[in-house]
Structure 1
Amino acid sequence: MKKIIAFGASSSKNSINKQLAIYAAGKFDNASVEVLDLNDYEMPIFSTDKETESGIPQLAQDFYTKLGTADLLVISFAEHNGAYSTAFKNIFDWTSRIHAKTFQEKQTLIMATSPGPRGGSSVLETAKNRFPFQGAVVKGSFSLPSFNENFDEKEGITNEDLNNELLQIIESITL
Protein backbone atom coordinates (compact mmCIF):
# COMPACT_ATOMS: atom_id res chain seq x y z
CA MET A 1 0.00 0.00 0.00
CA LYS A 2 1.27 3.47 -0.91
CA LYS A 3 1.63 6.21 1.68
CA ILE A 4 0.30 9.74 1.39
CA ILE A 5 1.44 12.54 3.67
CA ALA A 6 -1.17 15.32 3.71
CA PHE A 7 -1.23 18.68 5.44
CA GLY A 8 -2.60 22.15 5.34
CA ALA A 9 0.26 24.65 5.20
CA SER A 10 -1.20 26.62 8.08
CA SER A 11 -1.02 26.65 11.86
CA SER A 12 -4.75 27.25 12.26
CA LYS A 13 -6.43 24.65 14.44
CA ASN A 14 -9.48 24.88 12.16
CA SER A 15 -7.54 25.12 8.91
CA ILE A 16 -9.73 25.01 5.83
CA ASN A 17 -6.62 24.01 3.88
CA LYS A 18 -6.07 21.03 6.16
CA GLN A 19 -9.69 20.02 5.51
CA LEU A 20 -9.12 20.24 1.77
CA ALA A 21 -5.86 18.27 1.94
CA ILE A 22 -7.52 15.50 3.97
CA TYR A 23 -10.45 15.37 1.56
CA ALA A 24 -8.20 15.12 -1.50
CA ALA A 25 -5.86 12.55 0.05
CA GLY A 26 -8.85 10.39 0.93
CA LYS A 27 -9.85 10.19 -2.74
CA PHE A 28 -6.80 8.10 -3.67
CA ASP A 29 -7.35 4.34 -3.87
CA ASN A 30 -5.07 1.82 -2.16
CA ALA A 31 -3.22 4.36 -0.05
CA SER A 32 -2.80 5.06 3.62
CA VAL A 33 -2.96 8.70 4.66
CA GLU A 34 -0.96 10.34 7.42
CA VAL A 35 -2.04 13.88 8.26
CA LEU A 36 0.57 16.26 9.64
CA ASP A 37 -0.18 19.25 11.84
CA LEU A 38 2.30 22.10 11.40
CA ASN A 39 1.85 22.98 15.07
CA ASP A 40 3.83 19.82 15.85
CA TYR A 41 6.83 21.38 14.05
CA GLU A 42 6.93 24.84 15.61
CA MET A 43 10.51 26.14 15.75
CA PRO A 44 12.32 29.41 16.36
CA ILE A 45 12.08 31.83 13.46
CA PHE A 46 14.74 30.86 10.96
CA SER A 47 17.92 32.88 10.82
CA THR A 48 21.47 31.99 9.87
CA ASP A 49 22.56 33.37 13.25
CA LYS A 50 20.33 30.87 15.07
CA GLU A 51 21.56 28.10 12.80
CA THR A 52 25.19 29.00 13.57
CA GLU A 53 24.51 29.22 17.31
CA SER A 54 22.30 26.16 17.78
CA GLY A 55 22.27 24.15 14.57
CA ILE A 56 19.21 22.95 12.73
CA PRO A 57 16.36 22.10 15.12
CA GLN A 58 15.48 18.42 15.54
CA LEU A 59 11.91 19.23 14.49
CA ALA A 60 13.18 20.29 11.05
CA GLN A 61 14.97 16.95 10.74
CA ASP A 62 11.80 15.16 11.89
CA PHE A 63 9.72 16.97 9.25
CA TYR A 64 12.26 16.19 6.51
CA THR A 65 12.38 12.54 7.55
CA LYS A 66 8.58 12.32 7.62
CA LEU A 67 8.34 13.71 4.07
CA GLY A 68 10.82 11.05 2.99
CA THR A 69 8.41 8.28 4.03
CA ALA A 70 5.73 9.35 1.55
CA ASP A 71 4.96 8.14 -1.94
CA LEU A 72 2.83 11.26 -2.47
CA LEU A 73 2.60 14.62 -0.71
CA VAL A 74 -0.76 16.42 -0.67
CA ILE A 75 -0.30 20.02 0.45
CA SER A 76 -2.93 22.73 0.58
CA PHE A 77 -1.65 26.25 1.16
CA ALA A 78 -3.15 28.96 3.26
CA GLU A 79 -2.57 32.33 1.63
CA HIS A 80 -1.39 35.10 3.93
CA ASN A 81 -1.02 38.40 2.09
CA GLY A 82 -0.44 36.57 -1.18
CA ALA A 83 2.27 34.25 0.17
CA TYR A 84 2.88 31.16 2.32
CA SER A 85 1.76 31.27 5.94
CA THR A 86 4.56 32.14 8.34
CA ALA A 87 4.21 28.73 10.01
CA PHE A 88 4.83 26.89 6.74
CA LYS A 89 7.53 29.26 5.52
CA ASN A 90 9.50 28.82 8.73
CA ILE A 91 9.35 25.01 8.57
CA PHE A 92 10.23 25.19 4.86
CA ASP A 93 13.21 27.48 5.54
CA TRP A 94 14.63 25.28 8.31
CA THR A 95 14.04 22.05 6.39
CA SER A 96 15.67 23.41 3.25
CA ARG A 97 18.88 23.80 5.27
CA ILE A 98 19.01 20.01 5.61
CA HIS A 99 18.82 19.52 1.86
CA ALA A 100 17.95 21.92 -0.96
CA LYS A 101 15.71 19.21 -2.43
CA THR A 102 13.42 19.50 0.58
CA PHE A 103 10.66 17.44 -1.04
CA GLN A 104 13.03 14.62 -2.02
CA GLU A 105 11.67 14.12 -5.54
CA LYS A 106 8.28 13.07 -4.16
CA GLN A 107 5.17 13.25 -6.30
CA THR A 108 3.21 16.22 -5.03
CA LEU A 109 -0.33 17.50 -5.37
CA ILE A 110 -0.47 21.17 -4.43
CA MET A 111 -3.67 22.99 -3.65
CA ALA A 112 -5.02 26.12 -2.01
CA THR A 113 -8.32 27.41 -0.79
CA SER A 114 -9.62 30.53 0.87
CA PRO A 115 -12.95 32.06 1.82
CA GLY A 116 -12.59 34.43 -1.14
CA PRO A 117 -13.21 33.93 -4.85
CA ARG A 118 -9.52 33.63 -5.80
CA GLY A 119 -9.03 30.46 -3.72
CA GLY A 120 -5.45 31.18 -2.71
CA SER A 121 -4.36 31.44 -6.34
CA SER A 122 -1.39 33.72 -5.58
CA VAL A 123 0.26 31.35 -3.12
CA LEU A 124 -0.55 28.38 -5.35
CA GLU A 125 1.22 30.06 -8.27
CA THR A 126 4.23 30.74 -6.04
CA ALA A 127 4.36 27.07 -4.99
CA LYS A 128 3.96 25.85 -8.60
CA ASN A 129 6.99 27.89 -9.61
CA ARG A 130 9.14 27.24 -6.51
CA PHE A 131 8.51 23.63 -5.53
CA PRO A 132 10.20 21.92 -8.51
CA PHE A 133 13.45 23.67 -7.52
CA GLN A 134 13.00 22.24 -4.01
CA GLY A 135 12.64 18.65 -5.23
CA ALA A 136 8.87 18.35 -5.61
CA VAL A 137 7.56 16.51 -8.64
CA VAL A 138 4.37 18.52 -9.02
CA LYS A 139 1.76 16.24 -10.56
CA GLY A 140 -1.16 18.59 -10.25
CA SER A 141 -2.49 21.78 -8.75
CA PHE A 142 -5.98 22.76 -7.69
CA SER A 143 -7.59 25.91 -6.30
CA LEU A 144 -10.91 25.84 -4.46
CA PRO A 145 -12.48 29.30 -4.43
CA SER A 146 -15.01 30.47 -1.86
CA PHE A 147 -14.41 27.60 0.55
CA ASN A 148 -17.46 28.23 2.72
CA GLU A 149 -19.79 28.07 -0.28
CA ASN A 150 -18.09 25.12 -2.01
CA PHE A 151 -17.09 22.75 0.82
CA ASP A 152 -19.01 20.88 3.47
CA GLU A 153 -17.24 19.17 6.36
CA LYS A 154 -19.19 15.92 5.80
CA GLU A 155 -19.63 15.97 2.01
CA GLY A 156 -16.38 17.58 0.89
CA ILE A 157 -16.45 19.70 -2.24
CA THR A 158 -20.11 20.43 -2.97
CA ASN A 159 -19.66 22.20 -6.31
CA GLU A 160 -19.88 19.35 -8.82
CA ASP A 161 -17.66 20.99 -11.46
CA LEU A 162 -14.92 21.79 -8.97
CA ASN A 163 -15.13 18.33 -7.42
CA ASN A 164 -14.85 16.72 -10.87
CA GLU A 165 -11.84 18.92 -11.66
CA LEU A 166 -10.07 17.69 -8.53
CA LEU A 167 -11.03 14.05 -9.18
CA GLN A 168 -9.61 14.27 -12.73
CA ILE A 169 -6.32 15.55 -11.31
CA ILE A 170 -6.27 12.74 -8.74
CA GLU A 171 -7.01 10.12 -11.42
CA SER A 172 -4.04 11.41 -13.44
CA ILE A 173 -1.61 10.70 -10.57
CA THR A 174 -0.22 7.19 -10.49
CA LEU A 175 0.83 5.93 -7.10
Structure 2
Amino acid sequence: MKKIKEPLLEPLLRWMRLRRVKPHIPQNYILLDVGCGVSATFLRSISSHIRYGVGVDFKVQVYQGGNITTKQLKLNNYLPFDNSSFDVITMLAVLEHIEYEKEILQEIYRILVPSGKLIITVPSIWSQPILEFLAYRLKIVSEAEIRDHKRYYTRQSLEKILIDEIGFQNFQHQYFQLGMNNFCTVTKKE
Protein backbone atom coordinates (compact mmCIF):
# COMPACT_ATOMS: atom_id res chain seq x y z
CA MET A 1 0.00 0.00 0.00
CA LYS A 2 1.16 3.50 -0.85
CA LYS A 3 2.19 5.86 1.98
CA ILE A 4 0.33 9.18 2.08
CA LYS A 5 2.01 12.40 3.29
CA GLU A 6 0.17 13.68 6.34
CA PRO A 7 0.39 16.62 8.76
CA LEU A 8 3.20 16.51 11.32
CA LEU A 9 1.28 15.46 14.43
CA GLU A 10 -0.98 12.81 12.82
CA PRO A 11 1.48 9.85 13.03
CA LEU A 12 2.13 10.51 16.74
CA LEU A 13 -1.58 10.74 17.58
CA ARG A 14 -2.26 7.52 15.64
CA TRP A 15 0.60 5.73 17.41
CA MET A 16 -0.82 6.77 20.79
CA ARG A 17 -4.29 5.44 19.83
CA LEU A 18 -2.87 2.15 18.55
CA ARG A 19 -0.81 1.67 21.68
CA ARG A 20 -3.97 2.11 23.78
CA VAL A 21 -6.07 -0.27 21.65
CA LYS A 22 -3.78 -3.19 20.81
CA PRO A 23 -3.78 -4.84 24.27
CA HIS A 24 -7.58 -5.12 24.07
CA ILE A 25 -7.58 -7.28 20.94
CA PRO A 26 -7.47 -11.00 21.67
CA GLN A 27 -5.05 -13.05 19.63
CA ASN A 28 -6.23 -15.03 16.59
CA TYR A 29 -9.61 -13.25 16.28
CA ILE A 30 -11.47 -12.01 13.21
CA LEU A 31 -11.45 -8.21 13.23
CA LEU A 32 -13.21 -5.46 11.29
CA ASP A 33 -11.66 -1.98 11.35
CA VAL A 34 -14.42 0.50 10.47
CA GLY A 35 -12.89 3.66 9.04
CA CYS A 36 -9.47 2.06 8.53
CA GLY A 37 -8.01 5.06 6.68
CA VAL A 38 -6.21 5.34 3.36
CA SER A 39 -3.47 2.82 4.17
CA ALA A 40 -5.14 0.57 6.79
CA THR A 41 -2.18 1.26 9.08
CA PHE A 42 -3.75 -0.27 12.18
CA LEU A 43 -4.71 -3.52 10.43
CA ARG A 44 -1.25 -3.88 8.95
CA SER A 45 0.32 -3.27 12.37
CA ILE A 46 -1.65 -6.10 14.03
CA SER A 47 -1.79 -8.61 11.16
CA SER A 48 0.46 -11.11 12.97
CA HIS A 49 -1.81 -10.91 16.03
CA ILE A 50 -5.18 -11.63 14.35
CA ARG A 51 -6.55 -14.53 12.32
CA TYR A 52 -8.11 -12.30 9.68
CA GLY A 53 -8.76 -8.58 9.33
CA VAL A 54 -11.03 -6.50 7.12
CA GLY A 55 -10.76 -2.74 6.80
CA VAL A 56 -13.49 -0.52 5.35
CA ASP A 57 -13.31 3.16 4.50
CA PHE A 58 -14.45 5.36 1.62
CA LYS A 59 -10.86 6.42 0.98
CA VAL A 60 -8.95 3.16 1.53
CA GLN A 61 -6.85 1.70 -1.23
CA VAL A 62 -8.41 -1.68 -2.09
CA TYR A 63 -6.01 -4.40 -0.98
CA GLN A 64 -5.89 -8.13 -0.39
CA GLY A 65 -2.82 -9.85 0.94
CA GLY A 66 -1.98 -12.33 3.66
CA ASN A 67 -4.72 -12.16 6.26
CA ILE A 68 -5.79 -8.55 5.47
CA THR A 69 -8.47 -7.31 3.07
CA THR A 70 -9.59 -3.72 2.56
CA LYS A 71 -12.75 -2.55 0.83
CA GLN A 72 -13.88 0.88 -0.25
CA LEU A 73 -17.16 1.63 1.46
CA LYS A 74 -19.03 4.80 2.31
CA LEU A 75 -19.95 4.56 5.98
CA ASN A 76 -23.64 5.42 6.04
CA ASN A 77 -26.23 3.24 7.71
CA TYR A 78 -25.38 -0.25 6.42
CA LEU A 79 -22.39 -2.59 6.60
CA PRO A 80 -22.39 -5.33 3.93
CA PHE A 81 -21.53 -8.25 6.20
CA ASP A 82 -23.50 -11.20 7.52
CA ASN A 83 -24.87 -11.27 11.06
CA SER A 84 -22.31 -12.38 13.66
CA SER A 85 -19.32 -12.10 11.30
CA PHE A 86 -16.65 -10.50 13.53
CA ASP A 87 -15.16 -11.19 16.96
CA VAL A 88 -13.85 -7.64 17.38
CA ILE A 89 -14.71 -4.37 15.65
CA THR A 90 -12.60 -1.24 15.99
CA MET A 91 -13.57 2.37 15.25
CA LEU A 92 -10.51 4.47 15.95
CA ALA A 93 -11.14 8.22 15.59
CA VAL A 94 -14.09 7.45 13.28
CA LEU A 95 -17.47 7.69 15.04
CA GLU A 96 -17.22 11.49 15.29
CA HIS A 97 -17.20 11.61 11.46
CA ILE A 98 -20.24 9.36 10.92
CA GLU A 99 -23.46 11.17 10.03
CA TYR A 100 -25.70 8.21 10.91
CA GLU A 101 -24.18 7.43 14.31
CA LYS A 102 -27.01 5.31 15.72
CA GLU A 103 -27.56 3.36 12.49
CA ILE A 104 -23.88 2.45 12.06
CA LEU A 105 -23.69 1.34 15.70
CA GLN A 106 -26.78 -0.84 15.20
CA GLU A 107 -25.05 -2.40 12.20
CA ILE A 108 -21.91 -3.03 14.23
CA TYR A 109 -24.02 -4.71 16.91
CA ARG A 110 -25.65 -6.89 14.24
CA ILE A 111 -22.38 -8.10 12.69
CA LEU A 112 -20.56 -8.79 15.96
CA VAL A 113 -20.66 -12.34 17.30
CA PRO A 114 -22.44 -12.78 20.66
CA SER A 115 -20.05 -11.46 23.36
CA GLY A 116 -18.05 -9.77 20.56
CA LYS A 117 -16.18 -6.59 21.44
CA LEU A 118 -16.41 -3.07 20.02
CA ILE A 119 -13.40 -0.82 20.65
CA ILE A 120 -13.82 2.92 20.09
CA THR A 121 -11.67 6.01 20.36
CA VAL A 122 -13.34 9.41 19.89
CA PRO A 123 -12.34 12.97 20.78
CA SER A 124 -13.62 14.42 24.03
CA ILE A 125 -15.63 17.63 24.18
CA TRP A 126 -12.59 19.35 25.72
CA SER A 127 -10.45 18.62 22.65
CA GLN A 128 -12.48 20.67 20.16
CA PRO A 129 -10.79 24.07 20.67
CA ILE A 130 -7.35 22.47 20.87
CA LEU A 131 -7.83 20.37 17.72
CA GLU A 132 -9.17 23.39 15.85
CA PHE A 133 -6.13 25.44 16.91
CA LEU A 134 -3.72 22.67 15.88
CA ALA A 135 -5.49 22.25 12.53
CA TYR A 136 -6.45 25.79 11.50
CA ARG A 137 -3.62 27.82 13.02
CA LEU A 138 -0.60 25.54 13.36
CA LYS A 139 -1.51 23.14 10.52
CA ILE A 140 -0.01 20.13 12.32
CA VAL A 141 -3.19 18.01 12.30
CA SER A 142 -5.46 17.51 9.31
CA GLU A 143 -7.76 20.49 8.81
CA ALA A 144 -10.11 18.42 6.62
CA GLU A 145 -10.47 15.78 9.34
CA ILE A 146 -11.24 18.35 12.04
CA ARG A 147 -13.78 20.19 9.84
CA ASP A 148 -15.52 16.84 9.26
CA HIS A 149 -16.15 16.23 13.00
CA LYS A 150 -19.89 16.03 13.56
CA ARG A 151 -19.73 15.65 17.34
CA TYR A 152 -17.45 15.34 20.37
CA TYR A 153 -18.04 12.96 23.29
CA THR A 154 -18.11 12.61 27.04
CA ARG A 155 -18.16 9.38 29.01
CA GLN A 156 -21.87 9.95 29.59
CA SER A 157 -22.76 10.55 25.94
CA LEU A 158 -20.90 7.39 24.89
CA GLU A 159 -22.59 5.34 27.57
CA LYS A 160 -26.02 6.69 26.58
CA ILE A 161 -25.70 5.78 22.88
CA LEU A 162 -23.87 2.46 23.34
CA ILE A 163 -25.72 1.02 26.35
CA ASP A 164 -29.10 2.75 26.52
CA GLU A 165 -29.83 3.15 22.81
CA ILE A 166 -27.99 0.28 21.10
CA GLY A 167 -27.98 -2.37 23.83
CA PHE A 168 -24.29 -3.15 24.32
CA GLN A 169 -23.08 -4.20 27.77
CA ASN A 170 -19.86 -4.19 29.83
CA PHE A 171 -19.14 -0.49 29.26
CA GLN A 172 -15.49 0.30 30.03
CA HIS A 173 -14.23 3.86 29.58
CA GLN A 174 -11.07 5.90 30.12
CA TYR A 175 -9.96 9.32 29.02
CA PHE A 176 -6.47 9.41 27.54
CA GLN A 177 -4.11 11.88 25.85
CA LEU A 178 -4.58 14.30 28.78
CA GLY A 179 -8.36 13.95 28.60
CA MET A 180 -8.53 14.89 24.93
CA ASN A 181 -9.72 11.44 23.81
CA ASN A 182 -12.14 8.77 24.97
CA PHE A 183 -11.22 5.09 24.93
CA CYS A 184 -14.20 2.78 25.26
CA THR A 185 -14.97 -0.93 24.98
CA VAL A 186 -18.37 -2.63 25.03
CA THR A 187 -19.59 -6.12 24.23
CA LYS A 188 -22.61 -7.53 22.46
CA LYS A 189 -24.99 -9.48 24.66
CA GLU A 190 -24.85 -13.27 24.41
TM-score where L is the length of structure 1: 0.39
Q: Which has the higher contact order (CA 8 A, sep 6+)?
A: 1
Higher relative helix content: 1
Higher relative strand content: 2
